[in-house]
Amino acid sequence: EQIDGQTRLVVPYSALIYDNNGGTWIYTSPDPLTYVRTAVTVDFIEGDMVVLADGPGVGTDVATVAVAELYGTDTGVGK
Question: What is the topology classification, in CATH, of domain 2-75?
Answer: 2.40.420
Residues 6+ apart with CB under 8 A from 57: none
**pTM as predicted:** 0.90
DSSP annotation string for 40-67: -EEEEEETTEEEEEE-SPTT--B--SSH
Distance CA 43, CA 51 (A): 6
- Phi–psi pair at 12, nearest 5 degrees: -65, 145
- The pLDDT tens digits along the chain (79 residues) read 778 888 899 999 999 999 999 999 999 999 999 999 999 999 999 999 999 999 999 899 999 999 999 999 999 887 6
Name the residue ranges covered by the structural domains of the chain: 2-75
Count CB neighbours of 37 within 10 A.
17
